Amino acid sequence: MRFTAQQIASFLNGEIIGNADVEVDSFSKIEEGRPHSLTFLSNPKYTPHIYETKADIVLVNNDFFAEKEISATLIKVPDAYAALTLLLRMVNDIVNPPREGIERPCHIAESAKTGDNVYIGAFAYLGENCQIGDNVQIYPQTYIGNNVKIGDNTIIYAGAKIYKDCVIGQNCIIHSGAVVGADGFGFSPQEGVYHKIPQLGNVVLEDDVEVGANTTIDRAVMGSTIVRKGVKLDNLIQIAHNCEIGSNTVMAAQAGIAGSTKIGESCVLGGQVGIGGHITIGSKTQIGAQSGIISNTKPGSEVMGSPAIPLKSFFKSSIIMPKLPDMYRQIGMLEKEIEELKKQLNSDKDRDEGLSCK
Amino acid sequence: MRFTAQQIASFLNGEIIGNADVEVDSFSKIEEGRPHSLTFLSNPKYTPHIYETKADIVLVNNDFFAEKEISATLIKVPDAYAALTLLLRMVNDIVNPPREGIERPCHIAESAKTGDNVYIGAFAYLGENCQIGDNVQIYPQTYIGNNVKIGDNTIIYAGAKIYKDCVIGQNCIIHSGAVVGADGFGFSPQEGVYHKIPQLGNVVLEDDVEVGANTTIDRAVMGSTIVRKGVKLDNLIQIAHNCEIGSNTVMAAQAGIAGSTKIGESCVLGGQVGIGGHITIGSKTQIGAQSGIISNTKPGSEVMGSPAIPLKSFFKSSIIMPKLPDMYRQIGMLEKEIEELKKQLNSDKDRDEGLSCK
Amino acid sequence: MRFTAQQIASFLNGEIIGNADVEVDSFSKIEEGRPHSLTFLSNPKYTPHIYETKADIVLVNNDFFAEKEISATLIKVPDAYAALTLLLRMVNDIVNPPREGIERPCHIAESAKTGDNVYIGAFAYLGENCQIGDNVQIYPQTYIGNNVKIGDNTIIYAGAKIYKDCVIGQNCIIHSGAVVGADGFGFSPQEGVYHKIPQLGNVVLEDDVEVGANTTIDRAVMGSTIVRKGVKLDNLIQIAHNCEIGSNTVMAAQAGIAGSTKIGESCVLGGQVGIGGHITIGSKTQIGAQSGIISNTKPGSEVMGSPAIPLKSFFKSSIIMPKLPDMYRQIGMLEKEIEELKKQLNSDKDRDEGLSCK
């Protein structure tokens, strides 16, 4: 699959500077540019590389002007990064066409209903009364429990597991190893022994949700654990029972959300963040990596630390951390000095008083 | 599936206040109560909701007395939460009856032995010399290695993997994606290269253990990694080789225990806790979320932080954290002031001495 | 499988002290030694156990001399721990011989190529144009996507998932539930909605890499996510897109590395470490458990904390942490005392000045 600079510029409505006939067959980073590859320049930090890159085509912003000669062909566009994304999608549509057809053996319960143009991979399992939408791709070794509904155009990658009764929206992507709908962690302790509380709810993923590899989303004890439209979850994340994750919220890998917590819309959680149970996170909250949240946050908060405090405060305090031993010593010395000063002052006073009695 | 207040009160030996004929078909939370649903009131914090809930039945404690009119039918019981759990179990028995029978294709080694009333799902794999107890449910796509023993009534959900030689007790539940018995992380470094130390032990789960989705429990290098009776492990937990987890200990999601560590009975570990290797955690230790444990704890300890300190001390210190920059500045100022005072005192003294010499 | 002390001593070129005919059939720890088992003494801390162990054979270092009678047969070798590793490997070769043959049903695309002596377990899936080397063992329920290459002698345990286009070296071990090549977490936000950036790169694991259970390694957006020769990854680790992990680096469980970060050779990462994106970690860096890395580290650094600081500094500061509330109070008291001293000094001065005016 090769494209000329001319073809790409036409596709992107861009302006060519240099050889319009040069061909590329792959992408590369500007600092690792290879012949026959296309790259892009968006972050000004990388500008020096454009004069040395061996890539044959570079997408640049309209406001880029070369200060020296550049061997690559440039294609000027309003937003080089957005243009790259468009190109990646175009190539993706070519190299990753949707799969279709049913590979055997697979297990499809008689009561299961499947839409048009579905792919069902070998060794996949579809339980009773499943409803699978049009153009859904269910990769091999996937488990779809009884009564599960999956919306149109959703992709379930190899080996993902969806427990019974869960509902998956349209245009979702669920990666390998993800587990949706396992029992919430609910027990009632009686005389030191933990008795299981049956988890009779389900999980609902709305449209356009992406669930990373080996991420787990537990079913509710009653009602639903809900992941709203447009949420993106990275790998190895834990969402406990009865949580609700607001639309367009994104979480980096290994974050963990305890039970019944509600996260607002458009929040951003860093990697390895932990949020306690029964907490409300305001919309547009930004939480730094590895933070621990033990109380509600207001909309628009930026917090970090464990327990989390305002972001700026966290970094200011962090800078002081290595100085703690010195501070401790200094306080001890100050105490001694003050003790000394007091003594001195008192003895001076005594003497002065002596003086004044003279 | 519908029940009248009368039927539920009989089942729970409770006292009805209100319409005994009202019917419910589901559960709801008191603050989100829906018509035809049953809810409960246990935590007094939620009491105001009982006067407004649209649920048709509310389980309440015997000592509850209404201050205003309530539209729902009440059922009085000694412990509303325990009664709810009983109801959930009763319903669970109806909606989740044990599976039975063998779905084809599946792989059952000729030397494998299976008990009465087992379920073996499609694409499950049972290795040589497996021993599977009565009423065991092995869901689709599960892997049971050679020589594995599984006790009566245990459930292994879709896609869980049990490596060879491991032993699973009775009444255990292992969720999807859990991996029991993968190699411990053991290498001997020789001139900068890590050589694998074969991991020849196994994993033993005693009775009544629950293992969450995508949790991993590594096999011992020699002997056994042991998880004692009644332990409950949430999702995405790591238990390293040669650990021993005491009976009735519970761990929240994403906790990680390094090699050869022994955790006592009835401990509670918060989410994302990390415990170092070769450590002993006393029984009934409580460890706050995200804590890091690098030394032994005494029975009954409550600790938090990384590295962990006593819980109360942790919270007291955490409150001070945001004040560190101010403290740092204050110490600097105090030093200057003391320096100033010293100078002043000395100059006074000089003058005084001058005075006294007069 | 039983061996006499004589046989073992011959295999290890060791010297026997005691009964050469005693037989053992298993390994045990010296403090839990059982009859008919072999154990070892390497760490002097365990020396007292050798006089009481019930193990029948103990491997000891050449420089060990008994201070009392020992009932076990001793075998003296230059390095008892290394000798034990040799024995474990010898036993491993016997009890875990390589699997061979193809179990049915499995899915092997017609265009897939497999080498000599391969094992392909039941319900495994090999996509189009796969290239599988000699002696490769692909356990049941494994997914190997299109165009994947797997080098000689590699073992892929049950249920691991390798997405399309990835390259796995020779002598690698990939444990159950590991996911290699899922999409990197890349989105371009437009008006609050996250649009997926196709991830068109792949993952390359070089030779001798071990990947723990349920670990995830994401494919690059362009180019490759690279794990160099001899890297050992424990369970539940996250490696994001476009990372590069240097040769012979080891990571403990639940570590997470954000996108485009480069880790040097021979680094050691503790459990639950988090490293931010676009960071460079110098070779031989040691990172303590639960640390958070937000800036580059120099080769040979030892760091800990979140954010991480030099290891010694971290522990010194940690010791001060519980003293913070006292320090805070002390500073307040010092301020008051200084204020008091100032007043006193000023009043003395006034008086003195009065005096001097006399």
* ipTM, interface predicted TM-score of the complex: 0.94
Q: What is the pLDDT of residues A177-217, one digit of tens each?
A: 999 999 999 999 989 999 999 999 999 999 999 999 999 99
**A334 neighbourhood in chain C, CB within 8 Å:** 334
8-state DSSP, C218: P
Kindly determine whether residue C236 and residue A214, on different chains, have CB atoms separated by under 8 Å: yes
The whole-angstrom separation of Cα A141 and Cα A124 is 4
Min CA distance, A268 vs chain C (Å)?
11
- DSSP SS3 for A253: coil
What does the pLDDT read at residue B349?
A: 66
| Pair of tokens at residue B9 | 């009160």
Residue A345: the pLDDT is 81
Q: Which token pair is B259? A: 């090699």
Confidence of residue B357 (pLDDT cuts 50, 70, 90): very low
* Residue of chain B minimizing CA distance to A348: B349
B254 → closest Cβ in C26, C254, C266 = C254
Which single residue is written with the structure tokens 């420089």? C63
Long-range contacts of C295-300 (CB under 8 A, 24+ apart): C299/C264
Phi, psi dihedral angles at A317 (to 5 degrees): -70, -35
Q: What DSSP designation does C39 have?
A: E
Q: What's the Rg (C-alpha) of chain B?
A: 30
Tell me, letter by letter, the H, E, C secondary structure of chain B.
Answer: CCEEHHHHHHHHCCEEECCCCCEECEECCHHHCCCCEEEEECCHHHHHHHHCCCCCEEEEECCCCCCCCCCCEEEEECCHHHHHHHHHHHHHHHHCCCCCEECCCCEECCCCEECCCCEECCCCEECCCCEECCCCEECCCCEECCCCEECCCCEECCCCEECCCCEECCCCEECCCCEECCCCCCEEEECCEEEECCCCCEEEECCCCEECCCCEECCCCCCEEEECCCCEECCCCEECCCCEECCCCEECCCCEECCCCEECCCCEECCCCEECCCCEECCCCEECCCCEECCCECCCCEEEECCEEEHHHHHHHHHHHHHHHHHHHHHHHHHHHHHHHHHHHHHHHHHHHHHHHC
Q: Could you give the C-alpha distances from B210 to A318, B257, B289, in angstroms and in order?
A: 39, 17, 20
| C50-84: b (≥16 Cβ within 10 Å) or e | beebebbbbbbbeebeeeeebebbbbbbeebbbbb
A71 Cα to chain C: minimum distance (Å): 22
Query: Is B338 within 8 Å of chain A by CB?
Result: yes
Residue A130 Rama label (left phi>0; alpha psi -120 to 50; beta): beta
Q: For residues B356 and B6, give the distance between their C-alpha atoms in angstroms, rounded to a whole number.
A: 102
Does residue B352 carry a pLDDT above 70?
A: no
Pairing of strands C262-263, C280-281: parallel
| Residue C239, φ and ψ in degrees, nearest 5 | -115, 115
CB atoms within 10 A of CB B235: 33
**Strands A15-17 and A179-182, how do they pair?**
unpaired
Question: What's the whole-number mean pLDDT along residues B47-60?
Answer: 96
Q: Is the pLDDT of residue A337 over 60?
A: yes
Provide the pLDDT for residue A346. 80
Q: Give the integer Cα–Cα distance in Å for B175 and B179.
A: 9
Peptide bond connecting A44 to the previous residue in cis, omega within 30 degrees of 0:
no
For residue A7, give every residue at least 6 positions away whose Cβ sits within 8 Å of its Cβ, in sequence order, or none: none
Mean of pLDDT values over B236-240: 98
Give how far C357 is from chain B: nearest CA, Å: 11
Mean pLDDT of chain B: 95
Residue pairs spanning B and C at CB distance below 8 A: 190
Mean pLDDT, 10 residues at a time, chain C of 358 residues = 94 96 92 93 93 96 94 96 93 94 98 98 98 98 98 98 98 98 95 95 98 98 95 98 98 98 98 98 98 98 97 96 96 93 79 55
pTM score, two decimals?
A: 0.95
| Among candidates A198, A214, A345 on the partner chain, residue whose Cβ is nearest the Cβ of B177 | A214
Minimum mean pLDDT range among A35-44, A305-314, B12-21, C347-356: C347-356
Say if B252 is an interface residue toward chain A (CB within 8 Å): yes
The average pLDDT across A280-297 equals 98
Tell me how far apart the alpha carbons of residues B292 and B276 are, in angstroms, rounded to a whole number: 8
Contact A131, A162 (CB under 8 A): no
| CA triple A302-A308-A309, angle to 5 deg | 65
Token pair for residue A116?
């048009």
* Residue C141 contacts B where some CB pair is shorter than 8 Å: yes
Residues of B catalogued as catalytic: 241
Q: Is A316 exposed, middle or buried (0-12, 13-18, 19+ CB in 10 A)?
A: middle
How far is Cα A321 from Cα A340, in angstroms, rounded to an integer? 29
* Complete edge-to-edge strand list for the sheet that includes strand B73-77: B15-17, B73-77, B57-61, B37-41, B26-27
Could you tell me which chain B residue has the CA closest to the CA of C32? B223
Q: With contact defined as beta carbons under 8 Å apart, do A198 and A217 qualify?
A: no
Place of tokens 């963990």: A256
CB pairs under 8 A between A and B: 190
Query: What is the predicted pLDDT for the residue at A355?
Result: 54
- For residue C185, the chain A residues in CB contact (below 8 A) are 212, 232, 234-235, 252-253
Whether A197 and chain B come into contact, CB under 8 Å, resolves to yes
